[in-house]
Amino acid sequence: MVKKILIISSDNTGHGHKSITESLNEKLKLDPNIEVKVIDGFSLGGPFLMRIGKSYGPITRMSENLWKMVFNFSAKNPELINKFIENLIKNTFLKVLTEEKPDLILSVHPNFNGSILNILEKLPIKIPFFVLIADLVNISPLWADKRVDYTICPTMEARDKCIEYGIPVERLKMLGFPVRSRFFRDSTNKKVSYSGGEPLKCLIMSGGEGVGNMLNIAEVLLDHFDCHVKIVAGRNKKLKSMLKESLSSKYGDKVEIFGFTENIQDLMFDSDIAFTRGSPNVMFEAISSNTPIIITGALPGQEEDNPYFAESLNLGVICEGTSEIKLMISELLANEAEKLKNIIDCQKNYIKPEVADEIIQFLLEEENRSERKLQLA
């Protein structure tokens, strides 16, 4: 019997929700007995809600303080946010349910958990509902709803926060952070530790929206080290243009500048060090690719403590400002790159390539258990 799974995600609020969905979908599609429908939750609310979703990129690029206000407001008023979105998405969501008839629903975006559960509860409609948290440490109350069948947590920090919000321990499952399979190295791109004697290969990126002080980071590296620098500006076309104008004429072929790229894993595989902000998916993709990370900042709100999470596990190091880069790189490369190699070893021990498979297995087992309960009732 074919199982139908409905995934509520987002295409425009960064790239993290989309990449998590892709990591699950690439596994789900291997099973002919599973049908998957992915919906951008913001599309359920029509043009108005879509505009709100698409505002994430411009806000996070131009005003982190404004984003912090938005995050804090939603965290303090989850019931208000849930009711607001419920009213916007109700009719379209019910139409999707009628057309798709899903056996289970999985949400990977906090803005649609309470609103969808409100709709299901009022009718009432019995469909197993699961949440997969896409953040690591700073978990918004919008992620935590006691009515969810199970909340899947990527870290113990996320699990503890959900308990603090009142989610019963027995409704929480700690399985890890799913990463798309192409970010894991194989025999063709196995990690070779940097050993000196050749240019240091550096990658500078900042998530899909391209925020951060990329220009100054690149200048410090190119002015003080024998290195080759690749920069990914993401969807930020103005940043890409500015970087080309500022760097290409001065440093020539020592620097390459990219826009948004689907093959970011190849750039990671070819790099000795990656500079990135504390975006969960970018961090975990770099860790999965076994590329040491230097974390140069984080969005206020949901990313705030991610750099400290990574550093505490020796998966990367934190750089508080460009003035620290020269000393930091020198320390990482000292004693035949001893610290760099230690980070690589910690990444290898920490990362779990099978997380996506385990999440899917758990979802299907719980759905089957729910189905058996209904049959016995």
Q: Where are the beta strands (DSSP E) in the chain?
A: 3-9, 34-40, 104-107, 129-132, 150-153, 172-174, 200-204, 227-232, 255-258, 273-276, 293-295, 316-318
Other beta carbons within 10 angstroms of residue 54's beta carbon come to: 13
CA neighbor of 359 nearest in space, from 54, 152, 84:
152
What is the side-by-side strand order in the sheet with 255-258?
255-258, 227-232, 200-204, 273-276, 293-295, 316-318
Token pair in block for residue 159: 């699990």
- 258 within 8 A of 232, measured Cβ to Cβ: yes
Question: pLDDT tens track of the chain, all 377 residues?
Answer: 789 999 999 998 877 899 999 999 999 999 999 999 999 999 999 999 999 999 987 888 778 888 889 999 999 999 999 999 999 999 999 999 999 999 999 999 999 999 999 999 999 999 999 999 999 999 999 999 999 999 999 999 999 999 999 999 999 999 999 999 999 988 777 777 787 778 999 999 875 444 558 899 999 999 999 999 999 987 778 888 889 889 988 999 999 999 888 899 999 999 999 999 899 999 999 999 999 999 998 888 899 999 999 999 999 999 988 899 999 999 999 999 999 999 999 999 999 999 999 999 999 999 888 777 666 65
Q: In angstroms, rounded to a whole number, what is the distance separating the alpha carbons of residues 185 and 296?
A: 25
Q: Say which residues have a Cβ less than 8 Å from residue 206's Cβ, sequence separation at least 6.
A: 212, 214, 232, 234, 276, 277, 279, 282, 296
| pLDDT value, residue 195 | 76
Q: In angstroms, rounded to a whole number, what is the distance separating the alpha carbons of residues 35 and 336?
A: 51
Q: Say which residues have a Cβ less than 8 Å from residue 69's Cβ, sequence separation at least 6.
A: none
Residue 124: asked if its preceding bond is cis (omega within 30°), the reply is yes
Token pair in block for residue 334: 């000292």
- 172 within 8 A of 151, measured Cβ to Cβ: yes
* Furthest C-alpha separation in the chain: 73
Q: What is the pLDDT of residues 124-178, one digit of tens each?
A: 999 999 999 999 999 999 999 999 999 999 999 999 999 999 999 999 999 999 9
CATH numbers and ranges of domains, the chain: 3-179+353-376 (3.40.50.2300), 183-350 (3.40.50.2000)
Q: In angstroms, rounded to a whole number, what is the distance separating the alpha carbons of residues 306 and 296?
A: 11
